[in-house]
Amino acid sequence: MAATWRAVRDTELYMSGIVGSEPVARDEAIAVLWQQQRSQLVRLAVGLTGDRDAAEEIVQEAFAALLGRWRFLREVSAAQAYLQRVVVNQARARWRARRRTHVVATVLPGRREQTDGPDVDAQLDMLTALGRLPWSKRACVLLRYYADLSEAQTAAVLGISVGTVKSQTAKGLRQLAAVIDEQGVR
Amino acid sequence: MTMSPEDVARRLRAELDAVPVPERPWAAVRPALVRRRASRRVMEAAAAAAAVVLIAGLSVAAARVFGAIPAPGAMPRAHPPRYYMQQSYPGTSGPPKPVVVRATATGRITATVSCPQPGTQIAPQGIAATSNRLFFIDCQKIHKVSAKYTVSRSWLYQARLTGSGQISGYSLVPGGVLGPHRLEGIGATLDGSEVAVTLGPSALYEFSSPSAPADVLVLNTKTGARAIWHGGPKVFSAGDFTFTGNGRELEFVGAARCPQAKRFGCKELRAVSPATAGGRLDSSRLLLRLSALARSHGEYIEPAIITTGGSTLTAAVQRNQNSVSSQSIWVIQYSAATGRLLRVLYRLPTGNGFSYQFLSSDPTGRHLLFNAGPPSRTVNGWIDHGQLIRLKPANGNYIAYETW
């Protein structure tokens, strides 16, 4: 029986674990992703769920999942796409679970919260308007115009076709505009 | 509609960007996330175990109802060795995973292979098996010296695999204190009387080169007698060993200096005889250049294994078909004398790109273990008459090496 050779990449993969009780590369990469991506992911989740606490929770779940998934991803771009997928999936699950009990409280016109910050009313109105969109349209609009994903990337995250992304995005924007207009928001 | 889609999109971005997100440092959040992940894995494992019991029960019930019995033609015709050793990458955190012995048929772990010396671990692909269940392992102690990880000491141990897949008795091979060297290759005679090991530089991330060649140590495992073949500027490393001619000759795949492959050299099938004489790798006999096996510009020969007797050469060959999106990896047997293609043992389409982990064999060379596949999705199994029979785990991504 003879042994085969290994290239540098394989040695590094193997030895990084042998000499690393220092998973430096993974933790450093995820720490950078956390710093760079977390806020946007939380806001994306806020747009998807209308709930800031849930959004924080969802993003933390996504990074917890990334900790275990990192070794299969190996690249930052793949990690970013993974995080977006997890956030969207988690948000969808929560939205469906909460919809029946919370829809009345979040989308009725005129509901307000007491919070600090500039133009909070406009923010809440936008979130309320988003909440009026069916899930698919809302997700397409947010991924395309907030997360700045391409049609193909959006399709990959949502698991739908590019054609569906195009139509759902266009219809979602029109419907959002109509809701905003209805609420008298400018 | 009074707002255009562009206005809506612009407004959407502005309002969402204004949503305050309190700062939370990663260092503060990470411990909680790790705990959350650990508790989820416990729950997933419990759920998976329950699912397996349920599915097994349903399968048995279905078999009873429908009388399902596997057709004789569906069973593998080969009889591979009962156990294989599996070395995994350690993943991204935690201690290195131990080398385990698994039953070929079921994947059940029957034993763990460990280095007897505390604080040491088995070198990558540092396992050589023989035909009588004796096996050898290269154990390394690694230290960090001036920000560089180096092998400070290494040893060659032997042990035996029992009929039930247990390990009996580790012992240091006579003459098996190898010193501060990184292992670049290991092989043994069928009866385990001799072992060849390639001793590279001590630094983990440095590899042999024409200016810093490796040495090949041929060790008599009974007497401890040593013979050293020194690497040189022309042939600076060696691996994939096969002892032929009743152990008198040592064939290997040598790394030869060439302009096309400056870092790892061009691969050449070479031989030294008698194996126990010692000398210079530069003076080894050239049998075949592996580049001659490539039939076209789009082929790449992965490091090869050599069957016993030295008459055939089996290699994994990466081929591009008509386009880069239709690549495949072939396992092909060639004549070691002429390079003539003898037979295709297995073909694995990989699509756009490929990932190759290893090709290894049992001591007889009859049974091949193979781990390759599309990028980031390798399959792990053994080749049986043109089919790949899956081993456990089926996902081969982080399996560093396997051997029978």
- pLDDT tens, residue by residue, A32-64: 888 888 999 999 999 999 888 889 989 998 998
CB–CB contact B91 A17 (8 Å):
yes
CB-nearest to A2 from B121, B142, B241 is B241
* Residue predicted with more confidence, B173 or A96: B173
Classify each residue of A148-159 as buried b or exposed e, where b means 16 or more C-beta atoms within 10 Å of its C-beta: ebebebbbbbbe
CB–CB contact A17 B8 (8 Å):
no
What average pLDDT does the segment B103-121 reach? Answer: 89
CB-nearest to B149 from A7, A19, A47 is A19
C-alpha to C-alpha distance for B206 and B208, rounded to whole angstroms: 7
- CB-hemisphere CA count at 13 Å for B268? 22
DSSP-H helix ranges across B280-353:
none
Strand order in the sheet with B355-361: B355-361, B368-373, B379-384, B387-395
At which residue do the structure tokens 């001591």 appear? B363
CB pairs under 8 A between A and B: 203
Query: Tell me: the pLDDT tens digits for B305-318?
Result: 777 677 888 888 88
Q: Which of B198-207, B227-236, B383-392 has the lowest mean pLDDT?
A: B198-207
CB-nearest to A11 from B204, B304, B361 is B204
CATH topology of domain A1-103: Rna Polymerase Sigma Factor; Chain: A (1.10.1740)
Are the C-beta atoms of A157 and A85 separated by less than 8 Å? Answer: yes
Does the CB of B42 have a partner CB in chain A at under 8 Å?
Answer: no
Which pLDDT does position A43 carry in this prediction?
A: 93
Question: Taking CB atoms and an 8 Å cutoff, what residues of chain A touch B186?
Answer: 3
How near does any CA of chain A get to the CA of B61, in Å? Answer: 35
Which pLDDT does position A51 carry in this prediction?
A: 84
* Residue predicted with more confidence, B41 or B269: B269
CB-nearest to B11 from A38, A52, A126 is A126
Question: Taking CB atoms and an 8 Å cutoff, what residues of chain B touch A145?
Answer: 9, 12-13
CB-nearest to B5 from A67, A72, A173 is A173
CB–CB contact A3 B127 (8 Å):
yes
Give contacts of B 131-150 with A, CB under 8 A.
142, 144, 149
Question: Taking CB atoms and an 8 Å cutoff, what residues of chain B touch A44?
Answer: 16
Does the CB of B192 have a partner CB in chain A at under 8 Å?
Answer: no
C-alpha to C-alpha distance for A7 and A20, rounded to whole angstroms: 19
Question: Taking CB atoms and an 8 Å cutoff, what residues of chain A touch B41?
Answer: 68
C-alpha to C-alpha distance for B100 and A136, rounded to whole angstroms: 47
Which pLDDT does position B292 carry in this prediction?
A: 80
Is the bond leading into B274 cis (omega within 30 degrees of zero)? yes
How near does any CA of chain B get to the CA of A6, in Å? Answer: 8
Are the C-beta atoms of B210 and B264 separated by less than 8 Å? Answer: no
C-alpha to C-alpha distance for A74 and A149, rounded to whole angstroms: 21
CB–CB contact A145 B13 (8 Å):
yes
Task: Tell me which residue of A92, A106, A107, A91 sits closest to A179, measured CA to CA.
Answer: A107
Does the CB of B35 have a partner CB in chain A at under 8 Å?
Answer: no
Q: Which of B6-10, B45-49, B119-123 has the lowest mean pLDDT?
A: B45-49
DSSP-H helix ranges across B18-157:
26-66
Is B153 in a helix, a strand, or coil? strand
Asked whether residue A14 carries a pLDDT value surpassing 60, the answer given is no
Indicate the DSSP class of residue A2.
Answer: B
Which pLDDT does position A162 carry in this prediction?
A: 93
What average pLDDT does the segment A71-90 reach? Answer: 82
- Under 8 Å CB-to-CB from B341, ≥6 apart: which residues? B293, B295, B332, B333, B334
Asked whether residue A11 carries a pLDDT value surpassing 50, the answer given is no
CB-nearest to A67 from B33, B187, B358 is B33
Asked whether residue B105 carries a pLDDT value surpassing 70, the answer given is yes
Task: Tell me which residue of A91, A117, A38, A141 sits closest to B11, measured CA to CA.
Answer: A141
Q: Which of A13-22, B83-92, B128-137 has the lowest mean pLDDT?
A: A13-22
What average pLDDT does the segment B7-12 reach? Answer: 88
CB–CB contact A119 B186 (8 Å):
no
CB–CB contact B34 A67 (8 Å):
yes
Task: Tell me which residue of B307, B127, B137, B282 sits closest to B214, measured CA to CA.
Answer: B282
Are the C-beta atoms of B149 and B122 separated by less than 8 Å? Answer: no
Residue of B nearest to A74 (CA): B376
What average pLDDT does the segment B290-298 reach? Answer: 72
CB–CB contact B19 A30 (8 Å):
no
CB–CB contact B12 A176 (8 Å):
yes
Which pLDDT does position B325 carry in this prediction?
A: 61
C-alpha to C-alpha distance for B382 and B378, rounded to whole angstroms: 13
- Under 8 Å CB-to-CB from B172, ≥6 apart: which residues? B116, B155, B156, B157
C-alpha to C-alpha distance for A8 and A11, rounded to whole angstroms: 5
E strand or H helix at A33: helix A24-49
CB-nearest to B16 from A63, A146, A170 is A146
How near does any CA of chain B get to the CA of A119, in Å? Answer: 9
Which pLDDT does position B201 carry in this prediction?
A: 86
Please report, for chain A, the start and end positions of each structural domain, with discontinuous segments joined by +.
1-103, 108-186
E strand or H helix at A127: helix A120-131
pLDDT level of residue B6 (50, 70, 90 thresholds): confident
E strand or H helix at B401: strand B399-403
Taking residue B222's Cβ as centre, other Cβ atoms within 10 Å add up to 12
What average pLDDT does the segment B353-361 reach? Answer: 81
Which pLDDT does position A71 carry in this prediction?
A: 73
CB–CB contact A64 B121 (8 Å):
no
Asked whether residue B62 carries a pLDDT value surpassing 50, the answer given is no
- Whether the full predicted model's pTM is greater than 0.90, yes or no, is no
Asked whether residue A3 carries a pLDDT value surpassing 80, the answer given is no
Which pLDDT does position B300 carry in this prediction?
A: 74
Q: Which of B75-79, B124-128, B370-374 has the lowest mean pLDDT?
A: B75-79
Residue type, B47: A
Phi-psi region of B136 (alpha: psi -120 to 50; beta: other; left: phi over 0): beta
CB–CB contact B15 A122 (8 Å):
yes
Distances (CA, A) of B174 to A149, B171, B225, B360: 63, 9, 8, 27
How near does any CA of chain B get to the CA of A117, in Å? Answer: 8
Contacts 24+ apart (CB under 8 A), B2-10: B2/A177, B2/A181, B3/A177, B3/A180, B3/A181, B4/A177, B5/A170, B5/A173, B5/A174, B5/A177, B7/A177, B8/A173, B8/A176, B8/A177, B8/A180, B9/A141, B9/A145, B9/A173
Question: Taking CB atoms and an 8 Å cutoff, what residues of chain B touch A178?
Answer: 1
Are the C-beta atoms of B194 and B275 separated by less than 8 Å? Answer: yes
Q: What are B138's strand-pairing partners?
A: B156
ipTM of the complex: 0.76
Question: Taking CB atoms and an 8 Å cutoff, what residues of chain B touch A119?
Answer: 18
CB-nearest to A18 from B29, B121, B186 is B121
Residue B269 backbone dihedrals phi, psi, to 5 degrees: -80, 125
How near does any CA of chain B get to the CA of A184, in Å? Answer: 11
Does the CB of B20 have a partner CB in chain A at under 8 Å?
Answer: yes
The number of residues in chain B equals 404
Q: What are B267's strand-pairing partners?
A: B255
Asked whether residue B166 carries a pLDDT value surpassing 70, the answer given is yes
CB–CB contact A34 B128 (8 Å):
no
Query: Best residue in B15, B99, B133, B189 to probe A by mutation, most A CBs within 10 Å?
Result: B15
CATH architecture of A108-186: Orthogonal Bundle (1.10)
